[in-house]
Amino acid sequence: MRESLSAQSAGTAHVRDLFATEEAAARYPELYEAALAADIRVHDVTDRAAASLSETVTPQGLVAVCDLPAHPSGRTVDDVLTGSPLLVAVLVDVADPGNAGTVVRVADAAGCSAVVFAGDTVDPYNGKAVRASTGSVFHLPLARERDAEAVFAACRRAGLLSVGADGHAADDLDTAEVRGDLAGPTAWVFGSEAHGLAQRVAQLDSTLRVPLYGRAESLNLATAAAVCLYASARAQRRAGVGQRA
């Protein structure tokens, strides 16, 4: 809710309505008053009504209804890749909205310029994905394109190497960092929870695996994304390369 109001103030989102229980209005008076001050339609509702609207087991009692964020760069893949981006996250065939939303949050924290949802990836504005992003859907340009190959082509046009996170890759992050490969403009590509990038490897410029030093068999999608994106962000900053949105 707080992030949606901030996005409205910044002109990148439009909050249509706020539904609030009496308890929530008393607990979050600054949000309730900010919505009134912004001429958002505020509706007082019962706990039962708030629970039916929020799609969560333990609702907070505040539910905002928003238009899709309107980032200045637009919503197509080519639109969100303008301006010579240095770091982008691409999700391919990712079905779990919690994982997808968490990757958006990680990409935001790592300084990515955009997140692209490719193939049969879940809708970035799915309720669970939005909640998992903890407001980052309002910070980053997001694009969705069913044709994954077209996404990789758009990344190349933008000067980005498409690097897949693949547990079966011959090279790992440590090797790539020593070679200096992580400092270049990169679109990190993350595959589905069940099948990874098995069907997409041939379409990518390269693949890297996250080295596992302990006995764990693998990392989940969101954790692997965090390791990979931060490795590139760190390498770019060490090389004195700033993010260009």
pLDDT in tens, 34-82: 889 888 999 999 988 888 887 776 778 888 888 877 665 557 899 999 9
Domain hosting 26: range is: 2-66
- DSSP H helical ranges for 64-213: 77-80, 97-110, 127-132, 148-157, 173-179
Total domain count, the chain: 2
3-state SS string for 19-88? EECHHHHHHCHHHHHHHHHCCCEEEECCHHHHHHHHCCCCCCCEEEEECCCCCCCCCCHHHHCCCCCCEE
The tokens of 33 are what? Answer: 């008053």
**Helices 97-110, 221-238: crossing angle, 10 deg rounding:** 10
What is the per-residue pLDDT across 108-153, written as a single tens digit (0 to 9) for each?
999 999 999 999 999 999 889 998 999 899 889 999 999 999 999 9
Same domain as 91, residue 33: no
In a domain, residue 244? The reply is: no
Res. 243 pLDDT band, cuts 50 70 90: very low
Q: Is 178 helix (H, G, I), strand (E, B) or coil?
A: helix
Same domain as 154, residue 105: yes
Same domain as 156, residue 98: yes
Same domain as 170, residue 119: yes
Please give the pLDDT value at position 224: 96
Average predicted confidence (pLDDT) for the chain: 89
Please give the pLDDT value at position 70: 67
Please give the pLDDT value at position 72: 56
In a domain, residue 111? The reply is: yes
CA distance 130 to 137: 7
Higher pLDDT, 1 or 158: 158
What is the per-residue pLDDT across 195-234, written as a single tens digit (0 to 9) for each?
888 778 889 999 999 999 999 998 999 999 999 999 999 9
In a domain, residue 72? The reply is: no
Same domain as 86, residue 57: no
- Whether residue 241 is predicted with pLDDT greater than 80 in this model: the reply is no
The two beta strands, 206-208 and 15-20, are unpaired
